[in-house]
Structure formats: C-alpha cells, structure tokens
A and B are shown apart, each in its own frame.
Chain A
Amino acid sequence: MSALWSFFVEPFAYDFMQRAVLVAVLVGAVSAALSCFLVLKGWSLMGDAISHAVLPGIVLAFLLGLPLALGAFAAGLFSALATGYLKEHSRVKEDTVLGIVFSGMFAVGLVMFVKVETEQHLTHILFGNMLGVTAADVLETAIVAGITLLVVLLKRRDFVLYAFDPQQARVMGLNVRLLHYGLLVLLSLTVVASLQAVGIILVVAMLIAPGATGFLVTRTFGRMLAVAMAVAIGSSLLGTFVSFHIDAATGPCIVLIQTAVFLLALFFAPRTGLLMRRLGHVPELPSAPSRQ
C-alpha cells in the first residue's frame, strides 16, 4: 500500500508533476476522441502524415516569434490541402502523395532546424517534454484540447455517419466536404495539443492505439469512445509516473503502456478476444466499414 502511495502521491507533490498530470489528462482525452475516427476511417497514415508535417510550421513560427502551436496548426492544414491538390491533379495514388508531402515537409523542417536551434529544443519537439511543461504550456494545451474536444463531442453523430457511410451522409444533406476538412482541422489541432506530451514522433501512436483498443472491446461508438478515453487517459497518467520513477523519456512510456493495454484487450476481451475464441466461443464480430 505504501508502495502505491510513494508511486503516485509523492511525485505529485512537485509542481511539474501536477502540470504533467493535467497535460496527460487533456492530451489523453482529445487524442482518444480523434483516434476513434481515425481507426474507423482508415486514416492511420493521415495521422502519421499530419503529425510529421507540423515540424516546418513549428520552426517557422519560432523564427517569426509566433506561438508554436499556430505554426504547427498551419503546417498540418497545409499538408492536408497540398495532398488533396496533388492527388486531384496527378495520377499518383493518394497514399503515395501523402507520404511524399509529409516526408518532404518534415525534411524541410529538419533542414531549417539545423540552421536555427540547439539540439535540446529539437529533442523536445520531437519527443515531447511532459515533465518540463510550463504553466503557459498547460494553458495552451487546455485551450486547444478543449476546443477540439467540444467540437468533436457536439458534432460526433455527423462525424460518425461520415466515417461509416459518406454516401449516406451526402444523401442526408450533410456537407461532406465540410466534415472532411473539419475532421482534418480537428486532427491538426489534436496533434498540436499532443506535442507536449509525446512529441511529433509518437503522436501517431496516441491517434491509433486508444481507438483500436476501444474497437476491440465494444460494439457501439459511444462505448468505443468511452473506452478509448479511459485507456488514453489512464496510460498517459501511468506513463508519466513511470517515466518519473525510472528516469526515462515520458513519450515512450505512455505509448508502451497503451500497447500493453491493447494486447490485453486482444487476448482477453469478452466478445472478440483471442481467449474467448480459443475457448470455442465464436462470436459475431463487429466489422470496420469499407474503405472510403
């Protein structure tokens, strides 16, 4: 019992840990929400792409003295638009275009960085800096995550329909284009919010694992969302504490705990888990919608 105490409560005495915990909860919640849509829509590559494409935006913002979050958001959006444009006007496949755009932008960002900053800062942007967040960072994250979460939760039915059946959505009079770009905007915002916690490199993990875990153990979207959030927030918190104790980078700790939870779900989930299948219980599997 006292081990638990020393694990959780002692570090909490520190200011930076309190801030880290706050960020962990915020980032966990918002990335879990987006991750549900990404998993349903097959947008893992998109999440990967936007999370990398933000780098030149960050560097540019730094050079111009603007808030880094703004630069990141602009770059993320730009990459989505650029991909759309290039795909529209050439015969190159969409996934290929995505790969070219985001790797190209990331490369440019790296080159710019070399001329600009110290190694230290690059490391934080790439890998996160949960244990070093300032109060201002927390505020920024709260605002971005808050807005995003609000929009997602308010419009979630429309987004779910769009994710499952875009044709139906169109037929029902929903503005599919708006939903599409809206989702991309929200994705960019989520990436921006999560940078603090896990950095560019591992944001994509936060955008896939929670949703995937939710998908394995539930059948309705509402429950999937709830499970995803619980998993994400839980792993963020646990990961933060673990990294504090073993003196390792926070990002990887969070991601690995999320993976462990996913594996647990894979093996033990009541309806769809491997264990139940082994025991001869062959259930109806919920199926992911066909690729749009």
Chain B
Amino acid sequence: MIELLAPFEYDYMVKAMWVSGLVGAVCAFLSAYLMLKGWSLVGDALGHAVVPGVAGAYMLGLPYSVGAFFAGILAALSMVLVRQRTKLREDAIIGIIFTSFFALGLLMVSLWPASVNIQSIIMGNVLGISDADALQVVIIALVSLAILILKWQDLMLVFFDESHARTVGLNPLMLQVLFFTLLAACIVAALQTVGAILVIAMVITPGATAYLLTDRFRTLLLLSVGFGAVTAASGAYISFFLDGATGGVIVSLQTALFLLAFFLAPKHGRLAARRRATEVEELP
C-alpha cells in the first residue's frame, strides 16, 4: 500500500503530475471546440509540424517553445499559401505540409543526434522535464486558460453560428485567429507531456467524452477540463510504475474513459440507446 504513495515522495514526480494536470486541463478546454468541429487533422498537423522547430531550438540552445512556435507559424503560412494557389483539397494540403515539416525535424535529429533526444520530442518526457521547460509549459498553460475562461462564450458563438456572431458585434475572424493561436500554444506545451504524435488525443478526446454526457456547452467544458486534468495527472502517476511511456498511459486512460462514456452514458450512450429501442419494440 505504501508503495502506491511512492511517487509523491519524489520532487520530479510531483512536478510531472502538476505540469501534466495543468496541460491536460487547458488542452481539454480546447478539445471541447475542436471535437465539435471535427478538426482532428489540424490538431495532429500542428503537433507534428512544430518538431523541426523544437529540434532546432534545442540545438541552438533556445527555449523549445520559441522554436516550436516559429515552426508552427511557418507551417500555417505554408498551408495558406498552397491553398490559395491550387485546387488541392484542404486535407491533402495539411497532410503534405505537416509530414514534410515532421520529416525535416526527424532528419535534423538523425544528422545531429547528440544535441536532442528524439524520444522526448516524439513521445514526450514529462518525468524528466527540466525546470526551464516546465516553467515555459506552466506559463503558456496559465495564460491560455485565463484567456479561454474570459472568451469561452464568444468562441462558442462563433463556432456555432458565425452569422449570428457578427450580428451581435463579434469579430469572427479575430476570434478564430485567437483560437488557433491558443491551440498552437497549448500543443507546444503538450509536447512535453505526451509528445508530438499523441498530442492530438489531448485536444480532442476529453471533449468528445464530455460530449456524450451532457447537452449543455458549459457543462461540457467543465467535464472536459476535469477529465483532461485527472487523466493527465494520473497518467503521469501511473507511468512512474511502468518506468516511462507517460504519453501512452495518459492517452490510453483518456481513450478508455471515452469508451466508458460511449457505452454507459445515461442518455447518449450505446446501452441507453438499445434500452430505448427495446422499450419501443415492447410497446403494446
């Protein structure tokens, strides 16, 4: 029994759990919006596209988030440019850009392996996160959270009914830009916890789980943030015993929670739906 408390005795673990929890919370906040719009590909793309920036930053001794941001902006601009010029579909454009950026990052790492740990970038390494990196993550997460708490209703309105949003005086373009900037920032923060490949889960799964449990957006947000924080922190905790794979554990927990909701949700769950179907059949 005592062994279960072991992680709390180590500073690095406590730090990891706090950082993960915070990142999980803010990513989950964003996931409420992303999953409603079906923007999985964008989330995945951002996670992959920042990798060369991160690799470069480490190599040059800069803060990793600066490099990541730089790469992210570059990727976004490339997408916009290519989109303007061709009739190629949106998803193919996003696909080419992010895979190229990612390949570039991998190439950089493969050529200069000493300067950066590929595993950390791809798979996350919150258990071994440096204080400098932890600080960046916390700042990004807290600032993003603050902005989201202030603007969540306006964002909801823009994503639900852009026309109406205009008629109440909102500027949909600015709000969308704000959203994607926050998304990029939080994905950069999440890289440390789950790595580039699994970041997508953090920004869609908790929201989807909450979506199966409520019809009200505000409740969805609260649930989503709760799920995100708890699964992330627990995931860090559990990975202590597995000696690694924090990202894998966190996302597995989030997915498991989603499946639970899928089957057991009182109104929107599968079992509830079947019960309703059989009730209808049994009507006289």
Is B102 a contact partner of A215 (Cβ separation < 8 A)?
no
The smallest beta-carbon distance between A55 and chain B, in angstroms, is 10
Is B36 a contact partner of A252 (Cβ separation < 8 A)?
no
Which of these binds chain B: A133-141, A178-186, A200-208? A200-208
Residues of B within 8 A of A96 (CB): 34-35, 38, 40, 204, 208
Q: Is A127 an interface residue (CB 8 A)?
A: yes
Is A216 a contact partner of B36 (Cβ separation < 8 A)?
no
One digit per residue, 1 when the CB lies within 8 angstroms of any chain A CB and 0 when it does not, for chain B 26-44 equals 0000000011111111011
Bound-state Cα–Cα, A70 to B245, Å? 25
Q: Is B88 an interface residue (CB 8 A)?
A: yes
Residues of A within 8 A of B40 (CB): 45, 95-96, 98-99
Cross-chain contact of A274 among B85, B95, B106, B200 (Cβ < 8 A): B85
Cross-chain contact of B103 among A94, A246, A259 (Cβ < 8 A): A259
Is A126 a contact partner of B122 (Cβ separation < 8 A)?
yes
A44-B95, A110-B123 known; A92 vs B41 contact (CB < 8 Å): no
Q: Which of A90, A106, A204 has the most CB of B within 10 A?
A: A90
Residues of A within 8 A of B178 (CB): none
Bound-state Cα–Cα, A269 to B92, Å? 18
Beta-carbon nearest neighbor of B48 in chain A: A201
Is A216 a contact partner of B86 (Cβ separation < 8 A)?
yes
Residues of A within 8 A of B35 (CB): 92-93, 96
Is B110 a contact partner of A248 (Cβ separation < 8 A)?
yes
Is A107 a contact partner of B252 (Cβ separation < 8 A)?
yes
Is B244 a contact partner of A114 (Cβ separation < 8 A)?
yes
Interface size on A, residues (CB 8 A): 65
Is A255 a contact partner of B198 (Cβ separation < 8 A)?
no
Residues of B within 8 A of A201 (CB): 102, 106, 122, 197
Is B243 a contact partner of A114 (Cβ separation < 8 A)?
yes
8 Å CB interface, A75-113 against B: 86, 89-100, 103-104, 106-111, 113
Bound-state Cα–Cα, A59 to B208, Å? 28
Residues of A within 8 A of B147 (CB): none
Q: Is B144 an interface residue (CB 8 A)?
A: no
Q: Is B104 an interface residue (CB 8 A)?
A: yes
Residues of B within 8 A of A107 (CB): 198, 201, 247-252, 255
Q: Which of A103, A114, A211, A272 has the most CB of B within 10 A?
A: A103
Q: Is A52 an interface residue (CB 8 A)?
A: yes
Is B85 a contact partner of A266 (Cβ separation < 8 A)?
yes
A96-B208, A114-B245, A285-B87 known; A91 vs B252 contact (CB < 8 Å): no
Q: Is B216 an interface residue (CB 8 A)?
A: no
Interface size on B, residues (CB 8 A): 61
Q: Is B94 an interface residue (CB 8 A)?
A: yes
Bound-state Cα–Cα, A211 to B95, Å? 12
Bound-state Cα–Cα, A109 to B245, Å? 10
One digit per residue, 1 when the CB lies within 8 angstroms of any chain B CB and 0 when it does not, for chain A 215-227 equals 1100000000000
Bound-state Cα–Cα, A56 to B250, Å? 16
Bound-state Cα–Cα, A38 to B122, Å? 26
Q: Interface majority SS on A: helix, strand, loop or mixed?
A: helix
Bound-state Cα–Cα, A256 to B108, Å? 12
Bound-state Cα–Cα, A287 to B87, Å? 6
Cross-chain contact of B273 among A52, A89, A277, A291 (Cβ < 8 A): A89
Beta-carbon nearest neighbor of A207 in chain B: B95
Cross-chain contact of B204 among A38, A100, A285 (Cβ < 8 A): A100
The smallest beta-carbon distance between A131 and chain B, in angstroms, is 12
Bound-state Cα–Cα, A127 to B105, Å? 12
Is A92 a contact partner of B103 (Cβ separation < 8 A)?
no
Cross-chain contact of A248 among B86, B111, B197, B250 (Cβ < 8 A): B111
Cross-chain contact of A262 among B39, B91, B96, B242 (Cβ < 8 A): B96
Is A259 a contact partner of B205 (Cβ separation < 8 A)?
no
Beta-carbon nearest neighbor of A40 in chain B: B89
Q: Is A115 an interface residue (CB 8 A)?
A: yes
A95-B41, A100-B201, A286-B87 known; A208 vs B92 contact (CB < 8 Å): yes
8 Å CB interface, A129-177 against B: none
Is B103 a contact partner of A256 (Cβ separation < 8 A)?
yes
A48-B44, A209-B96, A285-B87 known; A103 vs B212 contact (CB < 8 Å): no
* Further pairs besides A90-B262, A103-B200, A107-B251: 5, Cβ < 8 Å: A42-B91, A99-B43, A114-B248, A209-B99, A272-B86
Q: A interface vs B, CB < 8 Å?
A: 38-39, 42-45, 47-48, 52, 86, 89-100, 103-104, 106-111, 113-115, 119, 126-127, 201-202, 204-205, 208-209, 211-212, 215-216, 246, 248-249, 251-253, 255-256, 259, 262, 266, 272, 274, 277, 285-288, 291
Q: Identify the 10 closest CB pairs spanning chains A and B, nearest first.
A: A104-B255, A99-B40, A110-B248, A107-B251, A205-B99, A95-B38, A255-B103, A252-B107, A44-B95, A93-B38
